[in-house]
């Protein structure tokens, strides 16, 4: 049945349903769709289309409000869409392949090798404090305790070790 061929007055029922219930139905469906307005509007449109198809049952002949029926239908549409999207695998079309490509770790490996080489050129005291704090992830206080150093000595060693590391990297033209 098309809206033009409406011998039973369904169009009048649909107009009344839209005027009386569309705004509150949209607010309800917006909550169900997590605020996705376009999806919510599609659900309300589908709900009202189904109401138009069942207009003979939604008339006010018995005095009951059609809102519970509309809310139930809208809720079921959202649930069906959710279940359907979970049942289908995610589509890969339209995705930028650069966004899904795996990261190349060659630069990171090369930097790690170069850093180990530069660390070997440092004095053992500087190397061990840098390893404890930057590589092992310990705090300065933890590193000082582990190495048996006073906290002030550990702090100054980190300062001078980082200066020596910068100089060694600059010598190898790695510093950026």
Q: Which of the residue ranges 19-28, 63-72, 167-176 would you say has the lowest mean pLDDT?
A: 167-176
Side-chain-side CA neighbours of 95 within 13 Å: the count stands at 9
Q: Is residue 176 scored above 60 in pLDDT?
A: no
Helix (H) or strand (E) holding 161: helix 151-171
Nearest of 1, 86, 77 to residue 41 by alpha carbon? 77
pLDDT of residue 3: 47
Classified as helix, coil or strand, 67 is helix
Whether the pTM exceeds 0.75: the reply is no
Classified as helix, coil or strand, 93 is coil
């Amino acid at each position: 049945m098309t809206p033009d061929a409406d011998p039973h007055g369904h169009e009048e029922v649909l107009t009344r349903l839209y005027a009386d219930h569309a705004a509150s139905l949209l607010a309800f469906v917006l909550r169900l769709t997590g605020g996705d307005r376009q999806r919510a509007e599609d659900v309300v449109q589908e709900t009202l289309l189904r109401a138009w198809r069942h207009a003979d049952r939604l008339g006010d002949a018995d005095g009951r409000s059609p809102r519970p029926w509309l809310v139930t239908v809208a809720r079921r549409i959202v649930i069906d869409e959710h279940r359907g999207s979970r049942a289908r695998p995610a589509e890969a079309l339209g995705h930028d392949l650069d966004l899904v490509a795996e990261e190349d770790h060659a630069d990171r490996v090369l930097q790690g090798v170069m850093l180990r080489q530069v660390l070997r050129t440092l004095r053992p005291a500087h190397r061990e404090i840098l390893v404890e704090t930057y590589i092992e992830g310990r705090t300065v206080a933890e590193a000082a305790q582990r190495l048996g150093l006073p906290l002030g000595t550990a702090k100054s060693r980190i300062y001078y070790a980082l200066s020596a590391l910068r100089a060694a990297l600059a010598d190898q033209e790695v510093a950026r």
